[in-house]
Amino acid sequence: MGSRNALRRALVGAVVVAAAMTAALGGSSAASAHDSLVSSTPAEGESVSSLSEVTLDFSANLLGYDGGNIVIVIGPEGRHYESECVVLAGPTLTLPVALGAPGGYTVEWRAVSSDGHPVSGEIPFTYTGESVSAGADASPCASAQGAAPAETPVAAPSTSGGMSGLTVGLLVGGGAVVLVGVLVVVILSRRPREEQESSDTE
């Protein structure tokens, strides 16, 4: 009877551990979701008659790695219109700009999400105001010049090269469930044997 109770306690403990591991890993997977762009000035597709700075607001505080957060503005003929380097303040990136001739412009950005992964995108807009700058062939910031030249859009982050947190969680949780199944089989196989031995001794 004592060994049977011990096995039952072990089974209950295994079930609790499996549930806790699955919940913890599932929670960590949800928490590791990348930050997203919430709003921007200018907004995508917006037409503006004046613009002295570009602002990008994200869903969480970005990480301030040197050279990791990059914002550039590309205008007609592929020229750059950043007047200074981008500044990070919590979840907001701010880039001073001096635009040129009216026409189509694109904000290209890359940011380091709070989970450490890069996120990136583009924001096209139209400028209808007067020219205040002739633009430049390259960005005034060396990191932006190397990471996002005018002829090459900012690349989206790669999603390959490893299992996601959810996949790992499911694998570990599945292993725990298998362990519980093995314990159940052991208990069920031992009970008839113990009952038979008990009847034999009587």
Q: Are 132 and 114 in contact (CB under 8 A)?
A: no
**pTM to 2 decimal places:** 0.58
- Using only C-alpha atoms, the chain has a radius of gyration, in whole angstroms, of 29
Report pLDDT for 190.
Answer: 61
Query: pLDDT by residue (tens digit) across 50-69?
Result: 999 999 999 999 998 767 89
16-25, 97-106, 152-161: the lowest-pLDDT one: 152-161
Spatial separation of the C-alpha atoms in residues 176 and 162, rounded to whole Å: 22
DSSP reduced 3-state for 169: helix
Comparison of pLDDT for 2 and 130, the residue scoring more: 130
Report pLDDT for 140.
Answer: 86
What is residue 167's DSSP assignment? H
Q: For 80, list phi and psi in degrees, rounded to 5.
A: -90, 145
Spatial separation of the C-alpha atoms in residues 169 and 179, rounded to whole Å: 15
Report pLDDT for 51.
Answer: 97
Report pLDDT for 69.
Answer: 94
Report pLDDT for 6.
Answer: 55
**Nearby residues of 148 by Cβ (< 8 Å), 6 or more positions away:** 70, 72, 108, 110, 139, 154
Beta bridge partners of 122: 108
Angle at 37 between CA 36 and CA 42, to 5 degrees: 175
Query: pLDDT by residue (tens digit) across 105-161?
Result: 999 999 999 999 999 999 999 999 999 999 999 998 866 655 543 333 333 333 333
Q: Are 25 and 163 in contact (CB under 8 A)?
A: no
